[in-house]
Amino acid sequence: MSSQSFALLFPYLIGLSAVLFTLGVVGVLSRRNALIVFMSVELMLNAANLAFVTFARSFNRLDGQVFVFFVMVAAAAEVAVGLALIATIFRTKHSTNIDDISAMKG
Amino acid sequence: MTGDIILFVILAAVAIVSAISMIITRNAVHSALFLVIVMAVLAVLFLGLGGQFIAMVQVAVYAGAIMVLFLFVVMLLGAERVGARSGLRWQIPAAVGLGVALLVIAGLLLFQSQPQPIAGPEAAAAFVTNVSGACADDVQLAARLGAVPGSPCLIGDQLFTTYLFPFEVVSILLIVAMVGAVVLTRRPWERAK
């Protein structure tokens, strides 16, 4: 890694991060399958991670990368609980379509 | 520098095309695999930005563990194809419209903002002054490159000094999530005992 590597590309990296985040938002808003909504949330977290690493490099510090580490831990916890919820709901409703999951009581 | 630009354009195109495919494909297994491609591309970008440790964690935890969990649940539930018909006809156009609006706002903010001067070698030197002696090799590397390498030693040093309290909180979060997942997926008849 040269010290100049990617240096001129920082605005474009932030732009790529914004585009990926937007695609995640569109996925959450448009898809009906709870699993794909979850994947879109992961896409948004990854886009945020790209912005964190880009800013860490442009400030020449590691705090951004440490934050990416924390985001990954939060994402792992979220996926574990979320997929457990989806599996439990599927057992009673026999569906992962979020239109079918409109009642609070199972 | 030209090589960097070509590499970035290819990676960005692959990431965006994969992300769009992830959203529009009907099969949930295909969605998960497209998401793996996006995560692998981001790992390469992290490497280019000097985040060696983060890039490897991205591949091992995200593209590895989390996506395997996703694929496992998709195949366990047999939920590859959920009926595409939504009750709301205007939902997809509304979602795309809101997404375009978000992108326009983000683009405006990006173009209006003053370009941040990129921190030079002196910022790297200031950052590594408080690093423990165990990372002497990485400190020398930072001085030679004029940039802080995201090596496991330096990240670990940050985690166990500046970010010790968040690190411990996050470990509790993981335990709580693990217990929660176990409790949630117990069968009802086991819960009654």
Q: What is the predicted pLDDT for the residue at A2?
A: 47
Closest in A53, A76, A87 to B51, CB measured: A53
Closest in A10, A77, A88 to B185, CB measured: A88
**Does residue A31 sit at the B interface (CB-CB below 8 Å)?**
yes
CA–CA separation, A71 vs A56, rounded Å? 14
Nearest C-alpha of chain A: how many angstroms from B11? 10
Quote the strand ranges of B26-121, DSSP E: none
Closest-CA residue of B relative to A77 is B177
Beta-bridge partners for A33: A97
Q: Tell me the pLDDT band of B121, cut-offs 50, 70 and 90.
A: confident
Q: Output the pTM of the full model.
A: 0.90
Domains and CATH numbers, chain A: 9-93 (1.10.287.3510)
Closest-CA residue of B relative to A6 is B4
Q: What part of A 46-65 touches B (C-beta under 8 Å)?
A: 46, 49-50, 53-54, 56-63, 65
Contacts for A64 with CB less than 8 Å, ≥ 6 apart = A52, A53, A54, A55, A56, A57
Single-letter code of the amino acid located at A12: Y
Q: What is the predicted pLDDT for the residue at B21?
A: 95
Cα–Cα distance list, B164 to B151, B154, B157 (Å): 18, 14, 10
Contact B151, B52 (CB under 8 A): yes
pLDDT for A60-102, tens place per residue? 888 999 999 999 999 999 999 999 998 888 888 888 888 777 7
**Does residue B177 sit at the A interface (CB-CB below 8 Å)?**
yes
Domains and CATH numbers, chain B: 1-80 (1.20.120.1200)
Single-letter code of the amino acid located at B90: W
The residue written with tokens 């997809």 in the block is B92
Residue in B134, B43, B31 with CA at minimum distance from that of residue B74: B31
